[in-house]
Chains A and B, each alone.
Chain A
């Protein structure tokens, strides 16, 4: 089985990464909140209106960016899904369950946590990168 090849795009990677880092840093400096998407998403199911509100606004911002991008750039959203629907559903379940169990995801542990120099987040980040790489290796070898 062959998988879609992708091109190494260092500059857009660095620039996009810097935007993510800027968003994360500003959210902390301005309103003191951690830009962890798994926590923000599950916090939507909170009963505290104020705590739910800023999270809903952040998620709305993510979706707004995805709606604005094709409009400004004239290009479609670059989303090329590789797995079939059952795999996407199982993947979503594992990501949702796992990130709540670990209290963080790529953003919360990988960017915010490492930026706080948290050892806990370093352990989490090393773990999910390792199991993700092993999973891709197994899926593509099989």
Chain B
């Protein structure tokens, strides 16, 4: 059941990325290009996503002690703004601005079998492994 729900949520998430245009680096980069040929679409993608997710999260976390089909909510507990939060986010933003992909669209676009997608996803995992390795030392 856990796996089936997760699979269906993945399909829904992927369709959202495709329909919204978030999967398209040209569109993402034009959203980030505020001083140039600005395409405001991704602002609306965020608004649409938050308009649905925020009430569901607030209702779920405030009114319920556990999810429908699992024992507990696995929600991050950290509260402090740390150097690694800001530094990591800054590096992520640079990569996002270079490639036009963040993790979800990059992975979803693998289905296109475009060389750029494949190379991005290999980099994505290599970067994650590199961080884990660095942290373990």
Contact = CB atoms under 8 A, between A and B. Distances in A.
Asked if A pairs with B, the answer is: yes
Interface of A: 3-10, 12-35, 37-38, 41-42, 45, 50, 53-55, 57-69, 76-83, 85, 87-103, 105-107, 109-120, 123-125, 127-137, 139-140
Given A28-B67, A129-B93, A63 B81 contact: no
Interface of B: 2-27, 29-30, 32-37, 39-61, 64, 66-76, 78-81, 84-104, 106-112, 114-117, 119-132
Nearest to A87: B98
**Interface residues of chain B: helix, strand, loop or mixed (majority):** helix
A18 B93 contact: no
Q: Is the interface of A mostly helix, strand, loop or mixed?
A: helix
A57 B6 contact: yes
Contacts of A16: 15-22, 45, 48
Given A13-B21, A24-B53, A93-B130, A66 B6 contact: no
A91 B120 CA distance: 7
A28 B57 contact: yes
Given A17-B46, A93-B95, 11 more contacts: A8-B40, A12-B41, A18-B51, A20-B20, A41-B125, A54-B6, A59-B10, A64-B11, A80-B25, A97-B91, A133-B32
A111 B47 CA distance: 9
Interface centre among B16, B78, B103 (most CB of A within 10 A): B103
